[in-house]
Chain A
Amino acid sequence: MRKPNYYKLRLIKDRVMFLLVYLSLALALIPLFSILYEVVQRGIPAINLDFFIKPTPTVGEKGGGVANAIQGTLITIGLASVIGIPVGLMSGIFLSEYSEHKLSTIIRFFNDVLSGVPSIIIGVFAYALIVRSIGFSVIAAAFALSIIMIPIVTRTVEEALKLIPMNIREAAIALGVPRWKTVVAIVLRGARKAVVTGILLSIARIAGESAPVLVTMGFWRWWFAGLDRPAANLALNIFIFAMSPFENWIVLAWGSALILILLVLGINIAVRIFIRGRY
């Protein structure tokens, strides 16, 4: 007699929970889509050929573009990645595969601390260390960004590698494969999707950083002129342009925002296509 009642009650509970989950999903997606909508809507008017081939216009000049900022951003992110990815990868591997080593406790501690440090402070640190000796430069900015990158890469690599079961490692070791080869060819290979995703997230993160870039490189209106000189930067463009009183700079700020989002999206999609289709 009572069973059908319980079943109905359960059914209702199930529906209610279902509804709640969808509601919160919608709630989470609303800001995301409104940002995307706003950026696309306001950014599109800024997009034309000049936007992609011309550098920052001088004050009062009509038109102009962000080509120099795209160039500078790619170079700066590239250099930061060249430093940050190997270091993060190595420490992630170390934490996951050699966790019994005494050093790993220390590395994990500093890594946790580092990931909690506000990025502006990392910028100031890079300023003290590099800007004061060689000046505002791509090197200084890339250094700051790589330090922001390292804990993110380390953490995600460690987590990704730990998902590979111990018995997979043992299978390789039992075949007479040296430990480091096991780590590289079996563990890292098995976890490569998660590892690549982690690296992408860290790149996306530093692509949008403006505070540490401001402190280490400053604003630069011209083309890239060397690693020991500043370079233009998309995130910083948004910050500087948006606060300026000049109409065409504000339009360029929206355009830069759109490009930045597309850049991050593009990197994501490109790598996803690249790693897809392999089991």
Chain B
Amino acid sequence: MAPKLEVEDLNAWFGTKQVLKNINIKIEENAVTAIIGPSGCGKTTFLRCLNRMHEINPDARVSGKVLFNGLNIYGNGVDPVMIRKKIGMVFQKPNPFPMMSIYDNVVAGLKLNGVRDKKSLDAVVRRSLELVNLWDEVKDDLNKSGASLSGGQQQRLCIARALAVEPEVLLMDEPCSALDPISTAKIEVLIRKLAKTYTIVIVTHNMQQAARVSDYTAFFYLGELIEYGPTKQIFENPKHELTEKYITGKFG
């Protein structure tokens, strides 16, 4: 099977500071890939390079290729807006749109891109919320503000919002770091469920989480990809000394 995302010689900068150095990695379809590494090593930056969010920052710069289904998303004439529809993102802190109902939050991406049909929006809301196991908890409160939910519910709402635009890839940047253990467990179950139909890349600081949810793990250190492979192999039999040290908690 061809990889969903193929990163070739990716470099990224903030101003003159290079934060990603020559990254090469192939991300498999319908699998969960975990990105681990110490704070500041470039995990978030890497994730944001995969859907062209990095360039939002005015002094950010990128070079290299990211092939998505074989198409270079940094190629000439590629519209970043289209890429972001296909490669969705969930952030570290739940960020539902303020002043918007739960319903409107879920369909915000569709509505803002011109979908008006009430019936199909209703269906999307139900399907997306069911997908993230939130439907039963909020089905009677769809008109309440998204901000009125608990942190864990908000994060699931944000995942539902990302799924509503029907992406093929979901990038998640430490989606559980602001959540309690029970909400975390719910989201981990959800990630495994989603992996059947979506390609997921998740940044995490939690080794157990990486071991629990991912099929592949990539270890970053100081802007470089040190080691990449099946999660089982990375955890049980790391080839690189740095990887082993990090996984066993010997530095950081």
Give the interface of A toward B (CB within 8 A): 100, 164-165, 167-168, 170-178, 181-182, 185-186, 189-190, 192, 278-279
Contact = CB atoms under 8 A, between A and B. Distances in A.
Given A167-B91, A171-B158, A192 B84 contact: no
Contact of B99 (A174, A178, A192): A192
A174 B147 contact: no
A175 B165 contact: yes
Contacts of A172: 97, 108-109, 112
Given A171-B161, A172-B109, A175-B85, 17 more contacts: A165-B95, A168-B97, A170-B95, A171-B91, A171-B95, A173-B56, A174-B51, A174-B91, A175-B88, A175-B109, A176-B86, A176-B113, A177-B81, A178-B81, A186-B108, A186-B112, A279-B145
Interface string B27-56: 000000000000000000000000101001
Nearest to B93: A167
B81 A186 contact: no
A165 to B, nearest CB: 7
B82 interface: yes
B247 interface: no
Given A176-B84, A177-B112, A190 B98 contact: yes
Interface in B104-163: 108-109, 112-113, 145, 147, 158, 161-162
B170 to A, nearest CB: 11
Which of B81, B85, B145 has the most chain A CB atoms inside 10 A of its CB?
B81
Contacts of A168: 95, 97-98
Contacts of B53: 170, 173-174
Contacts of B56: 170, 173
Interface in B50-104: 51, 53, 56, 58, 81-86, 88-89, 91, 93, 95, 97-101
B97 A176 contact: no
Given A176-B165, A178-B81, A186-B97, A170 B91 contact: yes
A176 B85 contact: yes
A171 B92 CA distance: 11
Contacts of A173: 53, 56, 84
Interface string B156-178: 00100110010000000000000
